[in-house]
Amino acid sequence: MNIPAFQPSMYLALVPVISLIVVALLVLLFDALWDEEKRRNLGWLTFGGILLTMVLTAFLSAPASPSLVWGGMLRHDWLSFTFAQIFLFGAAITALLSMDIPALGRRGEAYILMLVSTIGMILMASAADIVMLFLAIETTSIPLYILAGFFGKDDKSTEAGFKYLLFGAMTSSVMLYGLSLLYGFARTTSLEGVAAALGNFSPGLALGTLVLLLVGFGFKVSLFPLHFWAPDVYEGAPTPIAGFLSTASKAAGFAVLMRVFLTVYPSLEGYWPMLIAIAAAFSMTVGNLLAINQKNIKRMLAYSSIAHAGYALVGFVAVSELGVNSVVFYLGAYLLTNLAAFGAVAVFWRVTGTDAIADYAGLSRRKPWLALAMLAAFLSLAGMPPFGGFIAKVLVFAAAVQAGYIWLVVVGVLNSIVGLYYYLKVLNEVYHHRNEETEGLPLPITAPQGIALVVLSLGIILIGFLFTPFFNLGTVAAAALF
């Protein structure tokens, strides 16, 4: 594809980015103007700003046909559009969930960091150039390092931020090495140019760069064997941030993974699908097995999110339009589901100050609606209809069966059984066990938390019943890569 000269219409591709920058500046302004008590409202500002961004993006930034813009730095296509909407939605919900956590929601920096990170994700999903790709990944990651360690007075949170930074920096540098090799041998930074030059690489070198890149991407999506940071970071990070990390940030990792592998490495399609399949199988198995015995719900969700990275990749190994579509669908459904799960955990933590699974005993008597939201989220994670997780799993499995990966589907299916077991154990606490001491105590849900949970729960059910529009959006998104 030729790189077109600059035209003013290229600004349309940047609508979400520009809009988010404006929102961030507004947050910065009002942060200075408002005093401590009013700063909670920065969350509403962020939420409203992101919703407006979503609408503007939908109307102005819908791509006609795939095109390279801004000197070939970005590729404006339906894949980037779809992922941008997914990230924006995730960020909006995260802003709502953060508002009533005092050490997080009353500080303007938190919202600005979220917005900047979201900008990075949007650029990640559309990057068509090595330089842009790396910058986007760092723009996403650096704010998240800070957010993970945002509770400066809490040792666990500091540990989370620091650990995330160290592992992130390490894997980034490995990936950067791979990118520099690609540039050095191909003498171009454009992904399509690298793909064209890849024929001149020796197979060992080409495969080597692929593995180096996979280290960086695998870290972002918490893929085995680069998953080990997830439990500690999720446990220590503020809960809404952990939810953001496990959904939007993970989805951004998938967006680059799919774009780079399908754009740069189609000539190696004999090798990497098997590599990904093995990593997926291990991610699912390791994640699920380690999740079983967790006592802390955030650690359990961390291991479960490792497993879910594996499920999503099951669709990708098919290397087909249906496969990419199923991954996009899976990530969308997973975003709704996991944000709901973390949202419920955040609500519960705000009042009780505990994340231990055993402390959820009797929740359904104490707060039936919160229990119901958890029911929807956890059953969707387990892949039960009528929730979104079911159709998402069926789609990725269907794509893999089509491509002949029956063994991988069998591994995935066996893993869903393990998953069902530990998700049900949590629901058993919530619904069955009683806790006489806490039964009568109030468990208030604030307005933004309530809105977030209602939207997410309805979304989970909606996407599980009426999946056709989402599937069709995934279809056009997938078509952008083939």
Partner 1 sequence: MQFPILSVIVFTPLVAGMLLLFIPADRKQEARVAALAAGLFTFAMSVWVYFSYDAAAAGYQFVEKYSWLPALGISYHVGVDGISAPLVMLTGLVMFTGVLISWGIDDRPREFFAFLFILATGVFGVFVSLDLFMLFFFYEIAVFPMYLLISIWGWKQTREYAAMKLTLYLFVGSVIALVGALAMYWTAYQNTGILTFDMLQLEKAGFSATFQQIWFPFVFLGFAVLGGIWPFHNWSPDGHVAAPTAVSMFHAGVLMKLGAFAALRVGIMLLPEGAKLHMNWIILLALVNVVYGAFIASIQRDFKYVIGFSSVSHMGLVMMGFATLTHDGMVGAGVQMFSHGAMTALFFAVVGMVYDQAHTRDIPRLGGVSKVMLWPTIAFIVGGLVSMGMPGFSGFVAEFPIFMGVWQSHPWIALVAVISIVVTASYIIRIIRSVFFGDLPAEFDGHLHDVRVLDKIALGVLTVVLLVLGAYPPVMVPMVETGVQHVLHLLGGA
**Which residues sit at the interface with partner 1, rule CB under 8 A?**
364-365, 368, 372, 379, 382, 384-386, 390, 394, 397-398, 401-402, 406, 409-410, 413, 416-417, 420-421, 424, 427-428, 431-432, 467-468, 471-472, 475
| Peptide bond preceding 386 in cis form (omega within 30 of 0) | yes
Tell me whether residue 156 or residue 433 sits nearer to partner 1 (CB atom). 433
Minimum CB separation from partner 1 for residue 386, in Å? Answer: 6
- Least Cβ distance, residue 113 to partner 1 (angstroms): 38
Among residues 185, 189, 215, the alpha carbon closest in space to that of 202 is found at: 185
- Please identify, using beta-carbon distances, which residue of 55 and 417 lies nearer to partner 1: 417
Q: Do residues 339 and 90 make contact, with C-beta atoms less than 8 angstroms apart? A: yes
The total of other beta-carbon atoms located within 10 Å of residue 461's CB is 17
> C-alpha distances in angstroms, 171 versus 125, 157, 225, 310, 328?
19, 21, 12, 19, 24
Token look-up 């929730």 returns: 387
Say how far apart CA 285 and CA 279 lie, in whole Å: 10
The end-to-end CA distance of the chain, in Å, is 13
Considering the complex, what minimum distance in angstroms separates the CB of residue 327 from partner 1?
A: 15
| Cβ-contact 109, 125 below 8 angstroms | no
Q: Which residue lies nearer to partner 1 by CB, 6 or 465? A: 465
Q: Residue 208 or residue 386: which is nearer to partner 1 going by CB?
A: 386
Using the minimum distance from each CB to partner 1, give the nearer residue, 346 or 473: 473
Q: Least distance in Å: CB of 438 to partner 1?
A: 17
Report helix angle 321-352 to 297-316, nearest 10: 170
Q: Tell me whether residue 71 or residue 385 sits nearer to partner 1 (CB atom).
A: 385
For residue 32, count other CB atoms closer than 10 A to its CB: 8
96 vs 478 by CB, closer to partner 1 = 478
Q: Report the residue number, 398 or 451, with the smaller CB distance to partner 1.
A: 398
* Burial category of 407 from C-beta neighbours within 10 Å (exposed 0-12, middle 13-18, buried 19 and up): exposed
User: Can you say whether residue 37 is alpha, beta or left, with left for phi > 0 and alpha for psi between -120 and 50 degrees?
Assistant: alpha
Nearest to 320, CA basis, from 411, 218, 400:
400
The token pair that represents 209 in the structure block:
């760069």
Distance CA 47, CA 41 (A): 10
- Contact criterion met (CB below 8 Å) for 117 and 144: yes
Minimum distance from CB of 341 to partner 1 (Å)? Answer: 16
